[in-house]
Amino acid sequence: MSEIGIKDIAAKANVSTATVSYVLNGTRNVKLNTRERVLRVIQEMNYKPNNAAQSLKRKRTNTIGVIAEDVTVFNVPEIIDGINDCADRMDMHILLTNLRLDKRIGREFDRMDSYRHYADNAVSELLSKQVEGIIYIGVHPRDLTGFIDTFGKPIVYTYSYTHHDLSIQYNDEQASYDAMAYLVQKGHTRIGIISGVMDSTPSRLRFNGFYKAVTEYELPFDPQLIKIGDWEAESGYRLTLELLELEQPPTAIVAMNDVMAVGVIRAASEKGVHIPKDLSVIGFDNREFSNYLIPRITTMELPLHEMGYQAMESLALLIKGEKVEKQPMPSCKLIERESVAAPRIR
């Protein structure tokens, strides 16, 4: 056990505890000779300064808290990884709290009161542990204004946002615009879109991008090509069937997530419509499975790592009391695979 303290080291090395501390922290010059002796004893006894005592005195913990709504949801680990990446470089440490929302309340995000206490507890605990700031990772982008109170401690949201605090989000509108541009460039003009539920922020942003592309590229605007899904594969399946039954079916479909893209593929294969020859599909999220489907789907990858990284960077600035200049939103990246081709000439 490490019940050895600084005075044990001091005693064994025949110096005062002050000297040991100076050696350890390089806070002051110590004669080479004694320094080496001290260092050797520390090594021998495997001494590790008690962090609790240190931060008590220093009034700094070099620690931030991360509250993850649920670490098992696909986007979260990669964001944490980005936070870690950045934190490592600036010698900051992370205290992770996992709210386990997905298991505890499922998808009912709108019933905030049913899970507010989990968040409150997490914040209390983190503040008590003297974190210097907090990063909050949502499982679905949405407005969290008024949800938690950090009592003045800096907080940065990612994959969610509030009206008052800093938040790191990716450029959803641009992503969907880019997906469209890519299809147009391949020669498509009749492009269908299957959205997520419409009261969700990403759905709306992505729809904006879609609409912007339709306008700028002067594509035929046909409301029949716009389908409102619910993020699940079944809706992708059902709505694709509807699209295929149109008098003039689309030559390409943008699905607002990979899960619904699976539905698209199922519907197409059932109807004997070949992807990508007869129908192109783009998904969103670059979920792990998108690379294993047949065909492997072309999809927009979310800049999760970068979001985590930026969140940590910004939080560090906030902690230092410096002004955080608005960084450009991280962009999604198109992962070209096998589900998109030029449309068949009819």
**Interacting residues with DNA (CB under 7 A):** 3, 5-7, 14-22, 24-25, 27-31, 33-35, 49-50, 53-54, 56-59
Distance of closest approach, residue 72 Cβ to a copy of itself, in angstroms: 5
10, 43 Cβ separation under 8 angstroms: no
Residues 217-246 that bind a copy of itself (CB under 8 A): 233
128 scored as a contact of a copy of itself (CB under 8 A): yes
CB of 88 to DNA, least distance (A): 21
- Looking at the Cβ atoms of 86 and 254, the one nearer to a copy of itself is 86
Which structure tokens are listed for 116?
């507010």
The only residue of 26, 46, 321, 323 in contact with a copy of itself, by rule CB under 8 A: 46
Give the range of 157-165, 173-181, 214-222, 257-265 binding a copy of itself by CB under 8 A. 257-265
Segment lying near a copy of itself (by CB under 8 A), choices 9-17, 127-135, 199-207, 238-246: 127-135
In the block, which residue shows the tokens 């149109």? Answer: 246
240: its two tokens: 């694709």
- CB atoms closer than 10 angstroms to residue 135: 27
| CB closer to a copy of itself out of 29 and 46 | 46
Q: Is 127 in the site for a copy of itself (CB under 8 A)?
A: yes
Can you tell me the distance from the alpha carbon of 162 to that of 184, in angstroms, rounded to the nearest whole number? 35
271 binds a copy of itself (CB under 8 A): no
- Residue 119: other Cβ atoms inside 10 A: 20
Q: Which of 111, 133, 97 is nearest to 317 (CA)?
A: 133
- Provide the minimum distance between the beta carbon of 290 and a copy of itself in the complex, in angstroms, as a whole number: 8
Give the helix/strand (H/E) hosting 96. Answer: strand 93-98
Which lies closer to a copy of itself via its Cβ, residue 84 or residue 203?
A: 84
The number of beta carbons lying within 10 Å of the beta carbon of residue 335 is: 16
Quick one: 219 or 293, whose CB is closer to a copy of itself?
A: 293
Answer for the pair 134, 92: CB distance below 8 angstroms, yes or no: no
Q: Tell which phi-psi region holds residue 59, choosing left (phi > 0), alpha (psi between -120 and 50) or beta.
A: left
Q: What is the closest distance, in whole angstroms, from the C-beta atom of residue 61 to DNA in the complex? A: 12
Give the whole-angstrom CA distance, residue 336 versus residue 88. 32
- Backbone Cα Rg of the chain: 26
Which range of residues in 19-27, 32-40, 106-114, 260-268 is near a copy of itself by CB under 8 A? Answer: 260-268
The only residue of 5, 39, 112, 130 in contact with a copy of itself, by rule CB under 8 A: 130
Helices marked H in the chain: 6-13, 17-25, 32-45, 51-58, 76-89, 101-105, 116-128, 172-186, 201-216, 233-245, 258-270, 304-320
* For helices 17-25 and 32-45, angle between their N-to-C axes, nearest 10 degrees: 90
Residue 14 partner contact from DNA, a copy of itself, none using kind-dependent CB cut-offs of 5 to 8 Å: DNA
Q: How far apart are CA 2 and CA 170, in angstroms?
A: 45
CA distance 261 to 253: 9
Considering the rule CB under 8 A, would residue 84 count as an interface residue with a copy of itself? yes
Choice between 28 and 320, CB closer to DNA: 28
Contact of residue 279 among DNA, a copy of itself, none (CB under 5-8 Å per partner type): none
Does 78 bind a copy of itself (CB under 8 A)? Our answer is yes
Binding site for a copy of itself (CB under 8 A): 1-2, 46, 48-53, 55-56, 61, 70-72, 74, 76-78, 80-81, 84-85, 88, 93-96, 98, 100, 103, 124-125, 127-130, 151-153, 233, 259, 262, 265-266, 269, 287-294
